[in-house]
Amino acid sequence: MNELDLLGQADARGRRYTETNAHRRVFPSADAIAALAAFDEPLPEHGLSAEDTLALLDDVGSPATTASNGPRYFGFVIGASLPAAAAAERLMLAWDQCASTFGNSPVSATLERITARWVLDALDLPRDSAVGFGTSATACTLTALVAARRTLLARQGWDFDRLGLHGAPEIKVVVSDLVHITVRKALRVLGFGQQQIVHAPVDAQGRVDASRLPPLDEHTILCLQAGEVNTGAFDPFEQIIPVARKAGAWVHVDGAFGLWARASSLAHLTRGIEHADSWTTDAHKWLNTPYDCAMTICRDAQALSEAMNSDAVYSGASADAQKNLTLEFSRRPRGIPVWAALRSLGRKGIAGLVERHCSQARRVGEGLAQAGFEVLNRITLNQVLFRCPTDAQTLAVCAAVQESGEAWFGGTVWQGRPAMRISVSSWRTTDSDIDALLDLIVRVSHPVRASV
């Protein structure tokens, strides 16, 4: 089979998968998972046919997918893929560009530069900021923190690039008590020990309590968040950031999903966030682009481009070349699906997506409260945190929903006890999917409440 026929088959299989997206089990059946054993072959001595390889991938792989690109997946904050973004991604695969610099790929560099401008516009962040399109919020937070530490050290007269960390003035980090695990991971990778990390107490909604903020100074990186993973709550930026800046601290905001509220009528939740030094956000969550796609945004463009610089004798580039703003050297132009998403949604469309999910989340919360569940968060965003009267019931209801295949959401622990969290973040989710979700939860909870 020639290359074009093979790619045609892949398109046809992808199309069939997408057509059946809304009807497939949201979490694969035990049979589909058991069938994955078919992949367990020894590495072939001689290559097998590409056609057979594609067929195996689809026939065995597709049934064992999680239908997170469908309308009834409410786990984590996953988001589906917008048609424009998914389509752009497919063309991008045909191009197979190495989007390090303009010299590597003029079209990629041009589009990512424009997309950077659009992102700053949509999020109303300082227009001179650098925007690096990285693989994930995890990687983007890491790069922001590298720039933060290097800049704070430079202000102390310490040349980090030459001297490294050995003997350097100590930099400490203040994080929310409910800081996302990936920020912790980025800090650990960067060599911040637990002793250098101070926890800021939070209130009942999971927001950093401004009245109990630990001391900050010019040796401090403060990490705040827009969108706590359980409650969707925002830290009080307007109260905290001016204090931090006055103290000379660097403020980083993890807005993996929540930062997009700023592009909607919920922008007031983010008031004051524009005064931070750096921000992280994902496109692959709430903006509904395919994976892997996230952004580091850094007010001081030079701070990021110097920290991430990877110019070489054979590969020089401008300061805003993506290889000088991200961890990657060879990289795909992951800003292109962001461009397609933003272009196809427009300002109104982004706002509409965010606002619809937030109102759907409120509808879920109201339905659950009426059905006798305890809703644990004030639903200001797209997250609903809830539980049953007893912990055993909470665990059983969560498991029953997951096993049903009709919808999926995950469990968590909130204030020491099991809880369930629903995140509305797929463009495909309609109000009738929300009704179906509520029906399902109520239906599975009847036998559970009777028995445990």
Contacts to ligand PLP by CB under 6 A = 77, 136-138, 180, 182, 225, 227, 229, 254, 256-257, 282, 294
**Shortest Cβ 138–ligand PLP spacing (Å):** 3
Phi, psi of 173, rounded to the nearest 5 degrees: -130, 135
List 204's β-bridge partners, or say none.
none
**Shortest Cβ 208–ligand PLP spacing (Å):** 14
Q: Which is nearer to ligand PLP, 160 or 279 (CB)?
A: 279
Q: Which is nearer to ligand PLP, 223 or 434 (CB)?
A: 223
Q: Which is nearer to ligand PLP, 180 or 363 (CB)?
A: 180
Q: Which is nearer to ligand PLP, 116 or 283 (CB)?
A: 283
* Alpha carbons 430 and 428: distance in angstroms, whole number: 6
Please, which residues have CB within 8 angstroms of residue 422's CB and are 6 or more apart in sequence? Answer: 74, 361, 364, 383, 384, 386, 409, 437
**Shortest Cβ 396–ligand PLP spacing (Å):** 26
Q: Which is nearer to ligand PLP, 130 or 294 (CB)?
A: 294
Among 250, 261, 178, residue whose Cα is nearest residue 217: 250
* Alpha carbons 31 and 294: distance in angstroms, whole number: 35
Q: Which is nearer to ligand PLP, 255 or 367 (CB)?
A: 255
User: Which DSSP string corresponds to 44-62?
Assistant: PSSPPPHHHHHHHIIIIIG
**Shortest Cβ 350–ligand PLP spacing (Å):** 18
Q: Which is nearer to ligand PLP, 404 or 412 (CB)?
A: 412
- What is the three-class DSSP state of 416? coil
- Three-state helix/strand/coil letters over 64-89: HCCCCCCCCECCCCCCCCCHHHHHHH
**Shortest Cβ 342–ligand PLP spacing (Å):** 18
**Shortest Cβ 282–ligand PLP spacing (Å):** 5
**Shortest Cβ 276–ligand PLP spacing (Å):** 15
- What is the three-class DSSP state of 291? coil
What is the number of helices (H) and of strands (E) in the chain? 13, 11
Alpha helices in 279-334 (DSSP H): 301-307
